[in-house]
Amino acid sequence: MKAIIATTVFGIIMMFAGILVNDRKNIGSIAALLFAALLGVSIWDLVTTPANAPQLLFNDMLRIEHYSLWFNTIMTGCSLLYVLLLGKEIQKVGKYVGEYFALIFFILCGLYLLSSYNNLLMLFIGIEILSIPQYILAGSDKRNLKSSEASLKYFLMGAFSTGILLMGITLLYGAARTFNIMEMVSMLHADALNPLAIGGILFLMVALSFKVSAAPMHMWTPDVYDGSPTAFTAFMATIVKSAAFFAFLRLFQVSFNALSGHWVFILAVITAATLLVGNVTAVFQQSVKRMLAYSSIAQAGFMLFAVLAVNAVAWQGIIIYALAYSVATIGIFAVLIKLKDYTYDGFNGLAKKEPFLAFVTTVCLFSLAGIPLTGGFMAKYFVLLAVVQQGQFMWLVIFALLMAAISVYYYFRVIIAMYFKQGTPELMSPVTSGDKFWMVVTCILVILLGVVPQLFLSNI
Amino acid sequence: MILILLIAIPLFAGIFSFGIKGDGAKVLGLISSMLTLVAAAYVSGANYIAPVSFSQPWIPLLGTQFSLMGDGMSSMLCLLTGIVVLVVMITNVSKEVEKPGSFYGLLLLSQAGLMGVFLAYDALVFYVFWELALIPVYFLCSQWGGEKRIAVTFKFFIYTFVGSLMLLAGLIYLSLQTPGLSSYAWADIVRAGASLPPEKQQWLFWLVFIAFAIKMPIFPFHTWQPDTYEQSPTPVTIILSALMVKMGMYAVLRWLVPVLPFGVAYWADTVVVLSVIGIVYASCIAIVQTDIKRLIAYSSIAHMGLMAAAAFTHSQVGTHGIMVQMFNHGINITGMWVMVSMIEQRYGTRDMTKLGGMATAAPQMAIALLIIAFANIALPLTNGFIGEFMLFNGIFRADSAGHITIMVVAGLGIILGAVYTLNMVQKTAWGEEVKMNSGKDLSTNEYLGLAIIISIIIFLGVYPKPLLDLTSGIAGVITAGH
């Protein structure tokens, strides 16, 4: 609750800071401080809320559970890490530095709503608050045609999917006579389900699949991620995506759990398609940035496992997956943005020139590939555990693991380029000791997640 | 605590080694591998009284404990790892490598990973080490290997990674069958697996086995192996063939045979037939090789095939024989590779049609080669004999209908083994003398390294009792379920 207010206020402060403060560097520092403060507030929220008493707010529009707060805190932490690692690059994107940070604060507001909505209207509002700032960020590099294209494409596709979302909500309202996701459970019965409800569930599934870029609703992702300024791609591909996943999981876990017979198979097919498209297409990319876009689709396939599993482990799975994936991806983007050439060849010989950057990239790539003792392994482990426990989809598990083996191919291509090929990569900006420090923190986080995951899950 | 040292010494020495420039890394590697060997010897020695074990909670959320066990089989393999790495370090003293700090660092890290695999008594810990042992080797091959190294090692990595992931799914499934839904302790996994209905064990078998089959490697999963051996730098080839393939064999004995008895029984004939095909096939290919390194690579497939066949025959003497043979094969093949690398260094080629007359030019080398070759074809009074004898004994006693046929066909492997090994010795040691490019007979450090190998070969050939006693108890435990 406090965090929702804080992030809104901080967003407004940043907007004024853009007018009142002239120096970009100072704006960046203010933003970093405010993000740190926001992390403080969300931890405060977490600590002061009793573990087993969900908080109902605004006429039951929000139901703040303990795990929602935990998710908020973790994602705020990731945002702070993002700002610390990529803040300087955000300042370089364009003129309106203050606004960029303000928009990121507003996105976080959307995230907080999505982690604890109790009403389909709140879901809609959350998704909109999350998305609209992103359309702006995607197009913030105004003179770049690709950036404008990304923005327009994202906006049109986003608007389209929002329409479907609203349609789904309407149909569900028709069947359940309520927007409240908890009350809905008692209104919908698996054995005598109103066809309207089935339509509504499917529409919601499609709309949310779009937001998390699950196949076949993923088409926008590579273009948008590739076209947007790299500094913002890092944010969109990680924290925003995780928020959409959390919303997805929340809705399907809370409201449609008992109805899973009606939708789970469709979702399994979506999952399989996402894994296939993401991994196979990533193999053919020549640009690392675009590869990361496809890799984000592939990783989404794994995160869908949590939604598929509809059991208690799924919450842990989604939180640890979101964290591990976000930290590692932000780490890689922090390195990528330093390079002039985003193709694989641009990484050639990086280990010789900048052994530190190469090492950080390697740790993060190991995590994405799911090598043990990194966060990515634990993340995959938890979502797999959830699905194996559910017991229905052993075939999908094996399929996903084969796909994970493919993912090693494109992740390791970067490692091969850095360590075993010759070349002289050009850097856009020097690596400062501040950068190094936060990159070390990133690596430590990745490894801590892999070695002692209970640190990040013990509160759920 | 001593078990932790077995992992920690090479681990920390390895990490530390990355920071060292120049020859300091060699010294560090030598010291570390000696200390590790001492610790491994202590753990093995303790087995004659009571096995050492260690346990510490790790991730309570998953029910996994960091538990290690140094029983007969584990400590024997740790001892082997200790000896082999030390021999690698000793024979490498006189060689120059690029970036020695990273090279020896990675070598030591892979040793730490191997120790972890052999000691792990918890399935998740086992899995973690199983994957971690692979990573340093991947970097070693890709950085210091031959011309085609990048593509070949990549294939090797992805191949083994696929297997590992299947293993992970299998282990998760098994741990969900344990009481409380999450325990990875060996005893719990064994109990959970063994009580699964046979039809479940039958498909679970492949999830678990595929990883081990790729690592061993069993025909037809072996295609990564000759290329990788050929392209790797010799110290890495030694680690791969003497130790990493033992991971697969060890894992079958520890994590498959007792865990899924019905699954193993159901598929035993299939695997045995595949293994026997592998023996004959690899032996035949070995005969026509002219590159010594490839020849030994194929010979290694044949030897592992025999062990794999024995592992699926449910006989105690066969299982016991595998353990003995794992040790001996590790020692012999290390000797072989050391010889190959010395020949390559001196003559500048591995093609045996271009070699000859080593007995005149370097008599000590020729004698060493001969002894190791004899051990490789399991001549009596060398260490290879006792192991292969027990393996054949085990296969002969199998309950499968075709066990005699299998034994006879597998026996062909021995004859073919003699053909290609002796042919290789003949072509390199005798015949017309070819001039060496550089170097002379054995240098002091090479002499020392080979002396360790040869004395083990002869000692265990004449008096194998210490090795047999060390592993007899655990062989009984593993076959108890059948």
Helix (H, G, I), strand (E, B) or coil at B334: helix
Nearest to A398 among B62, B157, B169 (CB): B169
Tell me: cis bond preceding A216? Omega within 30 of 0 counts: yes
The predicted structure's pLDDT at residue A459: 56
Looking at the complex, report in whole angstroms how far the Cα of residue A255 sits from the nearest Cα belonging to chain B.
Answer: 26
The domain spans of chain B are 1-166+219-245, 261-482
Given a cut of 80, is residue A460 above it in pLDDT?
Answer: no
Give pLDDT tens digits for A274-319.
999 999 999 999 999 999 999 999 999 999 999 998 888 888 889 9
Q: pLDDT band for position A458 (50/70/90)?
A: low
The tokens describing B276, both together, are: 């026997």
Q: Is B157 on the interface with A (CB under 8 A)?
A: yes
Looking at the complex, report in whole angstroms how far the Cα of residue A411 sits from the nearest Cα belonging to chain B.
Answer: 11
Q: How far apart are CA A226 and CA A239, in angstroms?
A: 17
pTM of the model: 0.92
From the candidates A390, A398, A402, A406, which should be mutated to test the interface with B, based on the most B CB atoms within 10 A? A398
Average of pLDDT values for B32-37? 93
Closest residue on chain A to B162 (Cα): A405
Amino acid at A362: T
DSSP string, A205-267: HHHHHHHTT-TTS-THHHHHHHHS-HHHHHHIIIIIHHHHHHHHHHHHHHTSSTTHHHHHHHH
Average of pLDDT values for B17-38? 89
Average of pLDDT values for A436-450? 93
From the candidates B144, B168, B175, which should be mutated to test the interface with A, based on the most A CB atoms within 10 A? B168
Q: How far apart are CA A249 and CA A307, in angstroms?
A: 5
Q: pLDDT band for position B482 (50/70/90)?
A: low
Task: Centre a 10 Å sphere on the Cβ of residue B265 and count the other Cβ atoms it contains.
Answer: 20
DSSP string, B64-126: EEEEEEE-HHHHHHHHHHHHHHHHHHHHHTT---SSHHHHHHHHHHHHHHHHHHHHB-BHHHH
The predicted structure's pLDDT at residue A59: 86
Q: How far apart are CA A438 and CA A420, in angstroms?
A: 26
Give pLDDT tens digits for A354-413.
889 999 999 999 999 999 889 999 999 999 988 988 888 888 999 999 999 899 999 999
Looking at the complex, report in whole angstroms how far the Cα of residue B74 sits from the nearest Cα belonging to chain A.
Answer: 22
Average of pLDDT values for B363-391? 90
Q: Which residues of A touch B145 (CB under 8 A)?
A: none
Average of pLDDT values for B419-423? 91
The predicted structure's pLDDT at residue A456: 84
Residue B37 in contact with residue B108, Cβ under 8 Å?
A: no
Dihedral Cα B262, B266, B270, B272, nearest 10 deg = 50
Given a cut of 90, is residue A130 above it in pLDDT?
Answer: yes
Give pLDDT tens digits for A263-275.
899 999 999 999 9
Whether B161 and A457 lie within 8 Å, measured CB to CB? no
The predicted structure's pLDDT at residue B472: 83
Nearest to B172 among A372, A385, A408 (CB): A385
Q: Is B169 on the interface with A (CB under 8 A)?
A: yes
From the candidates A408, A458, A460, which should be mutated to test the interface with B, based on the most B CB atoms within 10 A? A408
Average of pLDDT values for A157-166? 93
Average of pLDDT values for B63-68? 88
Q: How far apart are CA B226 and CA A330, in angstroms?
A: 39
Whether A416 and B142 lie within 8 Å, measured CB to CB? yes
The predicted structure's pLDDT at residue B481: 63
From the candidates A344, A390, A401, A414, which should be mutated to test the interface with B, based on the most B CB atoms within 10 A? A401
A232: nearest Cα among A305, A298, A146: A146
With a CB-CB cutoff of 8 Å, which residues 89-148 of chain B face chain A? 127-128, 131-132, 135, 139, 142-143
Amino acid at B17: S
Question: What Å distances lie between residue B436 and A323, A447, B230, B341, B372, CA to CA?
Answer: 60, 50, 22, 14, 22
Nearest to B165 among A366, A405, A412 (CB): A405
Question: What Å distances lie between residue B278 and B60, B211, B284, B326, CA to CA?
Answer: 43, 17, 10, 18
Whether B154 and A452 lie within 8 Å, measured CB to CB? no
Q: How far apart are CA B365 and CA A435, in angstroms?
A: 55
Q: How far apart are CA B13 and CA B23, in angstroms?
A: 14
What residue has token string 């997956």? Answer: A321
Given a cut of 80, is residue B440 above it in pLDDT?
Answer: no
Q: Mean of the per-residue pLDDT values for chain A?
A: 90
Q: pLDDT band for position B229 (50/70/90)?
A: confident
